[in-house]
Structure 1
Amino acid sequence: MASLPKIQKAIFQPDKMSTDVVMINDHPVPNINKDLGEHLIQVKATAITNGELLWTKNFPPPAHLVVNKVLVPCNDVAGVVVDGPASSPFQPGAEVYARSNYVRTGCAREYSVLVTEEMAERPKSLSWAESAAVPMSAETAWQALFVHAGVEARSGSADGLKVLVTAASGGVGVWMTQLAKWAGAEVIATCGPRNIDSVKVLGADEVLDYTKTSVKEWSQKGGNQVDIVLDCVGGAALADSWWAAKEGATVIGIFQPPSSTRPDELREKNVKNLFFIMASNGTQLKQVTELIEHGSMRPSVDSVFPFADFQQAFSKVKSGKASGKVVLEVAHQ
């Protein structure tokens, strides 16, 4: 193995109470513990998740799980294995991607650390930037539909079911739409007017322009009801989604607990509801890779910025105007 530098460039968050980030040039290249399944990764690209700069403040991880964490953001990553355990399926040179656990230092740096169980070989049909946009979004959608909603993870398993996806043009929404359609569901999706055509291309059977028609209004026209609600935005959209859920339906939120928005008029409605935070899972990500390689699915990338332009990238995410993931190219391709 060629000698590695001892220090690297990294994006750093000086204060967990603030969303300010800076570039530092003297962040140490990490040492790995191979006994724990750790791999050193040369980062090619990493994607930003909306709101992640507030996670440590709002959702502090248990102290016993945090091991030498430095406030480097971005846990979605695609890169090349530099070193790892001899028994690992991901040997040096392997092109991988993953959603790293946020209790560890993030991946907005030239070299980062991944563990075996969160990794998968990246889809070779995608660019590095597109690969980095996949893990968190796709795994969240996979777990919402195939774990928490109880749909079997195979083509045709959702035949006869109706699924509502809110914010279907966002990073997670595009995966929920594609996976639900692949499983055979009739998909009703919401988005803004400029994304209607792109959401239809993803496979949505009906697309609601939320600026013109609310889900509540839609549900009250002709008694429209769905079996599963997959909500990606929370707030009023999630509250309205309760009206579209039929008796015995499941409402899943990834932004906030659905119970917090349940309308008073629907307190007695028999609807299962839950909120969850995705868990990195390389086995699920491998299945997503296979769907991508078969040409069935694609990620949604809003924009790609050079590493040096990280401030513009974070500003784009903060603006709320990104349609899909915002990605940083860390290494020259």
Structure 2
Amino acid sequence: MKAIVYNKYGSPDVLNLREVDKPIPEDHQVLVKIHAGSLNYGNLVLLKGEPFLARFAFGLLKPKYPIPGGDIAGRVAAVGKDVKQFQPGQEVFGDLSRAGWGGFAEYVSVPESALALKPENITFEEAAAVPMAAVTALQGLRDKGKIKAGQKVLINGASGGVGTFAVQIAKAYGAEVTGVCSTRNLEILRSIGADHVIDYTKEDFTEKGQKYDLILGVNGHHPISAYKRSLNANGTFVHVGGSGAQLFQTMTLGPWFSLTGRNKMSSLLQRQNQNDLIYIKELLEAGKVKPVIDKTFKMSEVEEAFKYFEQGHAQGKVVITV
């Protein structure tokens, strides 16, 4: 089969399209014929081996997982004898980040817990755009943020992969949602249901005096004190992405702010979770959430796709067709 392979950390130039052995599913595994995949921040960490601490999970001197790619959508080609949830021919989508990665290939063998049935009302490309980003948004809002109907919620960095899902999931929970993005993305946020939009190139939401019950920081460079200033008395800030300095402050000062005041400030480490993916599937089928796709690349164009993605300006998701 064809697959994207790399054997050293570096820029997208180290990625190569090669012929490799087709995997054979073990007793507990599902063999998936992949139709599409997508890019996430974790793919850049896997590619570059940065930050360095990530190498303790992904390989200290060279990549532990030679085929990158986490989000996939495809069709079940075969199943091991112990597999209970799936059968050949079914359409599935999933997150391989805790199952050895390997999504940028024609086939992959993974535990059934990494997969869920694909919603029938979306394409393979749309389904591949969902798993990591949507589950990250869900876990940030629901698990860390304790979102409730009627709350005022702000999504900073609302036009990227996680952000576009966060806006829609927050709306599905009945929140009043404000999205922060650049000028060119304002209409995208309005089209997916944001109640209010703020153009960060023209105004700083932390200086407006508006208070929020929950802020999800998906991108940005504000100090944690600025977020705290924008929270209601019992408000919550959840760091999902953004500058390294912002993450450091959230991890070091966040617990102090949480202990000494009524605000809760924490960071999220997304975890692959089949039940959460199934919940997202139900939102997709109900039409409450839809993937926003910026660009689609062929597998032979993966190097170009990575270079585009690492610029950090994608409107929604970047998808790879296999």
Among 15, 18, 21, which residue is 2:14 paired with? 21
* C-alpha deviation, 1:147, in angstroms: 1.5
Among 262, 266, 274, which residue is 1:274 paired with? 266
Contact 2:159 2:315 in 1 (8 A): yes
| TM-score, length of structure 2 as denominator length | 0.87
Q: Which residue of 2 aligns with 1:154?
A: none
* C-alpha deviation, 1:60, in angstroms: 2.7
Q: Which residue of 2 aligns with 1:3?
A: none
Among 236, 239, 255, which residue is 1:253 paired with? 239
Amino acid at match of 1:14: N
RMSD: 2.4
Q: Which residue of 2 aligns with 1:155?
A: none
Q: Which deviates more, 290-299 or 97-106?
A: 97-106
Contact 1:98 1:120 in 2 (8 A): yes
Output the CA distance in 2 between the equivalents of 1:301 and 1:239.
33
Output the CA distance in 1 between the equivalents of 2:67 and 2:34.
13
| TM-score, length of structure 1 as denominator length | 0.84
Contact 1:10 1:25 in 2 (8 A): yes
Among 258, 281, 288, which residue is 2:280 paired with? 288
Q: Which residue of 2 aligns with 1:76?
A: 71
Among 107, 113, 124, which residue is 1:111 paired with? 107
Contact 2:224 2:250 in 1 (8 A): no
Q: Which residue of 1 aligns with 2:24?
A: 31
Q: Which residue of 2 aligns with 1:181?
A: 171
- Alignment of 1:144 onto 2:140: yes
- Identity in percent: 30
Give CA deviations for 1:98-121 in whole Å, capped at 9, x if unaligned. 111256142101111222222111
Among 210, 232, 236, which residue is 2:222 paired with? 236
Question: Relative to 1, partners in 2 of residues 1:116 and 1:61: Cα closer, same or farther, differing over 3 Å?
Answer: farther
Question: For 1:289, what is the secondary structure of its paired residue?
Answer: helix
Output the CA distance in 1 between the equivalents of 2:74 and 2:30.
11
Amino acid at match of 2:292: S
Aligned residue pairs total 306
Output the CA distance in 2 between the equivalents of 1:286 and 1:105.
20
Contact 1:9 1:23 in 2 (8 A): no
Question: Relative to 1, partners in 2 of residues 1:50 and 1:57: Cα closer, same or farther, differing over 3 Å?
Answer: closer
Give CA deviations for 1:189-213 in whole Å, capped at 9, x if unaligned. 1011111122012221111101011
Give CA deviations for 1:204-235 in whole Å, capped at 9, x if unaligned. 111110101112112x2xxx211111110142
Q: Which residue of 1 aligns with 2:244?
A: none
* C-alpha deviation, 1:180, in angstroms: 0.8
Amino acid at match of 1:172: V
Output the CA distance in 2 between the equivalents of 1:26 and 1:309.
16
Among 1, 4, 12, which residue is 1:11 paired with? 4
* C-alpha deviation, 1:131, in angstroms: 0.8
Contact 1:239 1:261 in 2 (8 A): no
Output the CA distance in 2 between the equivalents of 1:237 and 1:305.
36
Amino acid at match of 1:254: V
* C-alpha deviation, 1:61, in angstroms: 4.7
Q: Which residue of 1 aligns with 2:94?
A: 98
Output the CA distance in 2 between the equivalents of 1:316 and 1:261.
32
- Alignment of 1:167 onto 2:163: no
Output the CA distance in 2 between the equivalents of 1:235 and 1:193.
18
Question: Relative to 1, partners in 2 of residues 1:236 and 1:182: Cα closer, same or farther, differing over 3 Å?
Answer: same
Unaligned runs of 5+ in 2: 242-246
* C-alpha deviation, 1:260, in angstroms: 5.4
* C-alpha deviation, 1:262, in angstroms: 6.0
Output the CA distance in 1 between the equivalents of 2:12 and 2:224.
26
